[in-house]
Structure 1
Amino acid sequence: MIIDNKAKNFLSLATLFMATAIMLGAFGAHGLKKILEPEMLKIFHTGVEYQFYNTFGLFFATLIYILKKESKKIKVSLYLIVIGTLIFSVSLYLLTILNMPVLGAITPIGGTLQIIAYLLLCFGILKD
């Protein structure tokens, strides 16, 4: 099976997301535990958790894309997973580390993009 450059890029991005999720999880557990209040640490870990979930989703969505390259819905879902994950998780990381609660206002945008991504992926699987 030949994997095109788009699939290679998304798979590579998923591996980077996974590596950074592991690093950030360790950083939160060891480096931030003494610095952040428990509630802020919990928020940081929520960002890490969702980065993990969506990294697995990106891996699987990319494999589905490899099988159904013609589907525009699946292609768009890949981009939305990436953008949604970055907005959601990074906003939580920055919110806690920089103590900027205003960043919490953009977190739901990332979550909404993630939801749309997986619904679009579903439609792409069923309809295309």
Structure 2
Amino acid sequence: MKIFIIIGAINALLSVGLGAFGAHALEGKIEPKYLDVWKTGVQYQMFHALGILAIGILSRNVPVSGLLSWSGWLMFIGIIIFSGSLYVLSVSGIKVLGAITPIGGVAFLISWLLLIIFTVKYL
């Protein structure tokens, strides 16, 4: 599934760009606690971009599996919800956005669980 290599690479690219933006454009403009929140979003986006890349590479060498596909899509959804909510929270200060962040975290957890199940079952 070439799409996961593309999605993973795009998210890695965005993570580097957003990390640089946070370090150079946001420093001194937002509270340090929100800069830390931004950095957490960047960090988790990169971790899961690499996970999505791994899924894309794995999918080229194994039988098509719904487990692997769902794992990749849940990582992507997790990036959007988890990291995205942290980015918006950082620049807006709207604390209620922190309430949706755990939904992205749960998507991450399920994605890794599915990858474990896939590995046990097919590799």
1:86 match: secondary structure: helix
Q: Does the 8 Å contact 2:22/2:39 carry over to 1? A: yes
Q: Does the 8 Å contact 2:75/2:111 carry over to 1? A: yes
Report matched runs for 1:1-128 at 5 Å: 7-128=1-122
Q: Does the 8 Å contact 2:4/2:55 carry over to 1? A: no
1:43 deviates by 0.4
Displacement over 4 Å in runs of 4+: none
* TM-score, normalisation: structure 2: 0.95
The count of residues paired between Structure 1 and Structure 2 equals 122
Aligned partners of 2:63 and 2:90: how far apart in 1? 39
Aligned partners of 1:19 and 1:70: how far apart in 2? 27
The answer for unaligned runs of 5 or more in structure 1 is 1-6
1:47 deviates by 0.1
1:67 match: secondary structure: coil
Q: Which amino acid aligns with 1:58?
A: I
The answer for unaligned runs of 5 or more in structure 2 is none
* TM-score, normalisation: structure 1: 0.91
1:68 deviates by 2.1
Identity of paired residues, percent? 38
| Per-residue Cα deviation, 1:53-102 (whole angstroms, up to 9, x for no partner) | 00111111111122223221111111111101111000000011111111
